Amino acid sequence: MSTVSATGGRTPRIAVIGGGLAGITASIALAESGADVTLLEARPRLGGATCSFSRDGLTVDTSQHILLGCCSAYRGLLDKLGMAGHAPMQDRFDVTVLAPGADGQPRKARLRRNALPGPLHMLAALGRYPFLSLTERMSVSRPALAMRRVNPADPATDRQRFGDWLAAHGQTERSRRLLWDLFSVSSLNIAGDDASLALAAVVVKTGLLGKNNAADIGVPALPLGELHGDAAATLLGKLGARVSLGAKVSAIEPQDGGGYLVRLADEDLTVDAVVLAVPHEKAAPLMPPGALPGQTVAAWAGLGASPIVNVHVIYDRPVMDLPFVAAVDSPVQWVFDRTRISGLSASKHGASKHGRPGHQYLAISLSAADQYADTPVARLQELFVPALAELFPAARDANVAEFFVTRERRATFRQAPGTAALRPPAATQRPGLVLAGAWTDTGWPDTMEGAVRSGLAAAVELRRTVLKPTSPIGERQ
């Protein structure tokens, strides 16, 4: 692939600030386009919000992540990283939903799609969903049909609350809590009723009403640090890009003759172009004056933040026999078996290499977790150990060997009505300065897919303005 640079024949130097999925994606695409790329990441590792750490010999992801079949750009990145095989997809959307039962036995539903084309693929499963009355089940088709006419790109759509819209289409409080929340709370990280209708429409139209495999779930089989950060560092090295870790950028200063001075603690960097791929609250103070009109940058504060808390419980024996389940009528939302991925699973000789033979490691993922963000660990243990026992009878006789909590207080922006207008596109008014990040105007929720799409959009913009491409960057890289 050849490029004609806008830098007088010299290879354009580009600084990508922020080593999350957006920055990683932009760096790869730009390095592949022939740019001289330096990726600057403040932390000692790549991967941003998708990261892992070691704890007593276990590899712990700060938060369980999943992907969906419709995440084409993110899956394209995994392909590029050589990691697609480590994020296996379900053969069909298949979610077991548990609820505590009055007789002490959990109630159980299985939402498994069939092979019919979307949106018919979910009808049979929803028709049998036992947590709703027959009338409630029959009314689910009303919003499903009406959603086809909702335009997520219409600003009026983004001014509405998803809950109000569902209620106006016949969805009772129970239908919203026991069915719709299953999909919207985890994908939008905000209490179901409070989500922007525009973002909820993207989820519902793409995931539930689109192709029949669009909502099939993929669960990483490797710790996120390996799946993204380590693999990206390797690929970027092969592409000739520099990765600078522990490199916190303190300012981006436009230069008189064009280009930018990127200020770092140790040494400054002079570049032709910059991709700023950091969260909105970190991006705002780095934006040079005049990069965007008027109060645009100040308004980003309105995007806010929404927390995700993960509760990690290690039992002295197996208590859950599925890779993951969802829960309703319970403080538990989604539970994942992390025994193997954390390195806890038994070796072929029957003994755990970490001295916890036969133990099972579960992680409860709690989205829209405002009420738990500052709750003491002991209180969370009092709440969630009995809640798990209500869902998994085997847990009642099991001992909790370890209990710990990870909290991401600014996990995503707060995906409420009115946020679409605050999300900026990649291009700014300053030549060679572009924005990326899952919070920018991708049209997608703040997800891995959104982050990758934003990185691609940033790279496309710089290829158009700085690199003058001879071949386009595709959505699947």
Nearest-angstrom CA–CA distance, 145 and 61:
38
Kindly tell me which of 318 and 323 has the beta carbon lying closer to ligand FAD.
Answer: 323
Min dist CB 202 to ligand FAD, Å, is 13
Task: Indicate the residue among 68 and 140 with the shorter CB distance to ligand FAD.
Answer: 68
Q: Minimum distance between the CB of residue 182 and ligand FAD, rounded to whole angstroms?
A: 14
Judged by CB under 6 A, the stretch of 13-21, 80-88, 329-337, 466-474 that binds ligand FAD is: 13-21
CA 354 centroid distance within chain: 30
**Residue 367 Cβ, how far from ligand FAD at the closest point, in Å?**
8
* CB of residue 359 to ligand FAD, shortest distance in Å: 24
Taking the C-alpha atoms of residue 339 and residue 59, their distance in angstroms, rounded to an integer, is 10
Taking the complex as a whole, how short is the minimal distance between the CB of residue 50 and ligand FAD, in angstroms? 5
| Residues 186 and 68 sit within 8 Å (Cβ to Cβ) | no
Distance CA 328, CA 107 (A): 10
Structural element, H or E, at residue 118: none
Binding to ligand FAD (CB under 6 A): which residues in 422-461?
437-438, 446-451
Taking the least distance from each CB to ligand FAD, the nearer of 17 and 35 is: 17
Q: 313: helix, coil or strand?
A: strand
Of these, 38, 52, 63, 339, which contacts ligand FAD (CB under 6 A)? 63
Cβ proximity to ligand FAD: between 5 and 440 the closer is 440
Buried residues in 389-406 as b, exposed as e (16+ CB within 10 A): bbbbeebeebeeebbbbb
Residue 21 interacting with ligand FAD (CB under 6 A): yes
Assign 17 to helix, strand or coil.
strand
Figure out which of the listed residues 15, 22, 243, 332 binds ligand FAD, where binding follows CB under 6 A: 22
Report the C-alpha gap between 308 and 410 in whole angstroms: 8
Q: Could you tell me the two tokens for 107?
A: 């109630």
Closest by CA position to 375, among listed 305, 307, 303, 304: 307
CB of 102 to ligand FAD, least distance (A): 32
Q: HEC states along 162-226?
A: HHHHHHHCCCCHHHHHHHHHHHHHHHHCCCHHHCEHHHHHHHHHHHHCCCCCCCCEECCCCCHHH
DSSP state letter for 352: B
Q: Which amino acid is at 29?
A: A
Nearer to ligand FAD, 145 or 377 (CB): 377
CB distance 214 to 34 below 8 Å = no
| Smallest distance, ligand FAD to C-beta of residue 47, A | 7
Q: Which of 5, 6, 16, 19 binds ligand FAD (CB under 6 A)?
A: 19
Would you say 38 or 412 has its CB closer to ligand FAD? Answer: 412
Q: Kindly tell me which of 278 and 459 has the beta carbon lying closer to ligand FAD.
A: 278
Decide: is 248 part of the binding site for ligand FAD (CB under 6 A). yes
Residue 414 engages ligand FAD in binding (rule: CB under 6 A)? no
16 binds ligand FAD (CB under 6 A): no
Nearer to ligand FAD, 337 or 449 (CB): 449
* Contact partners, residue 227, CB within 8 Å, separation at least 6: 50, 78, 81, 83, 86, 87, 220
Q: Cβ of residue 133: shortest distance to ligand FAD, in angstroms?
A: 31
User: Reduced to 3 states, what is the DSSP secondary structure of residue 11?
Assistant: coil
Regarding 389 and contact with ligand FAD (CB under 6 A), the answer is no
- Tell me which of 249, 335, 389, 460 binds ligand FAD, using CB under 6 A: 249
Signed CA dihedral, 112, 116, 118, 119: sign only: negative
Paired strand residues for 306: 412
Place of tokens 């409630």: 136
Which residues inside 259-288 make contact with ligand FAD, applying CB under 6 A? 277-279, 282
Ordered DSSP codes for 233-295: HHHHHHTT-EEEET--EEEEEE-TTSSEEEEESS--EEESEEEE-S-HHHHHHHSPTTSS-TT
408 binds ligand FAD per the rule CB under 6 A: yes
Buried b (16+ CB within 10 A) or exposed e, 238-260: ebebbbbeebebeebebeeeebb
List the x/- string, 298-317, binding to ligand FAD by CB under 6 A: ----------x---------
Residue (339 or 440) nearer to ligand FAD, CB: 440
Q: Per rule CB under 6 A, is residue 20 in the interface with ligand FAD?
A: yes
Residue 43 lies near ligand FAD (rule: CB under 6 A): yes
Closer by beta carbon to ligand FAD, 99 or else 305: 305
99 in Cβ contact with 328 (< 8 Å): yes
Among 6, 49, 58, 332, binds ligand FAD (CB under 6 A): 49
x-or-dash string of contact with ligand FAD, 132-171, rule CB under 6 A:
----------------------------------------
Q: Which residues form the interface with ligand FAD (CB under 6 A)?
A: 17-23, 40-43, 48-50, 63, 65-67, 248-249, 277-279, 282, 308, 408, 411-412, 437-438, 446-451
